[in-house]
């Protein structure tokens, strides 16, 4: 699923290289929302160099403004096999409450199913009660078992 026109004219599509500047700005915005702006070190140049690893859907307005995005990738879990990981889901505040988050997640779910994945996984911050409620409304099981382990290599 790459395009889904809605009544408000915002459609969902795969991100393209031309979107990288807008996406990097949104990544900064999201990092600030998450209270971790110092962790956002990605750049347009880095994205271009690593674009073969990049998979993302954007919610685009008729004026070509990206109002939100969801980044994701294939992975393999030893307990469940081929899976899909939803890294970030972010909608700009002015566009929240219009169903864009649901449409982006539904696009990821459809893609994961179509590509033969048995599971979709993602993370949510403990303090983000709105996101937790949203994910639960989609049927997600949210546990408190695992924690992030990041080892910065560069």
Catalytic residues: 135
CA separation for the pair 122, 89 (Å, rounded): 9
- The residue whose two tokens read 């983000």 is 128
Backbone angles phi, psi at 79, to 5 degrees: -85, -25
Q: Which of 25, 77, 64, 80 is nearest to 47 (CA)?
A: 25
From the number of C-beta atoms within 10 Å of its C-beta (0-12, 13-18, 19+), residue 149 rates as: exposed
Give the sign of the dihedral formed by CA 38, CA 58, CA 14, CA 112: positive
């Amino acid at each position: 699923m790459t395009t889904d026109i809605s009544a408000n004219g915002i459609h969902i599509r795969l991100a393209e290289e031309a979107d990288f500047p807008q996406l990097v700005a949104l990544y900064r915005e999201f990092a600030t929302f998450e209270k971790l702006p110092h962790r956002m070190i990605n750049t347009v140049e880095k994205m271009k160099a690593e674009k073969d690893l990049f998979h993302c859907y954007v919610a685009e307005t008729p004026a070509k403004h990206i109002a939100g995005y969801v980044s994701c990738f294939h992975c393999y879990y030893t307990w469940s096999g081929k899976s899909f990981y939803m890294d970030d889901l972010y909608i700009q505040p002015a566009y929240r409450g219009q169903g864009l988050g649901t449409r982006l997640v539904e696009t990821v779910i459809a893609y994961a199913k179509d590509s033969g994945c048995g599971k979709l996984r993602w993370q949510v911050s403990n303090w983000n009660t709105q996101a937790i409620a949203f994910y639960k409304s989609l049927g997600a099981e949210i546990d408190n078992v695992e924690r992030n382990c990041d080892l910065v290599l560069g």
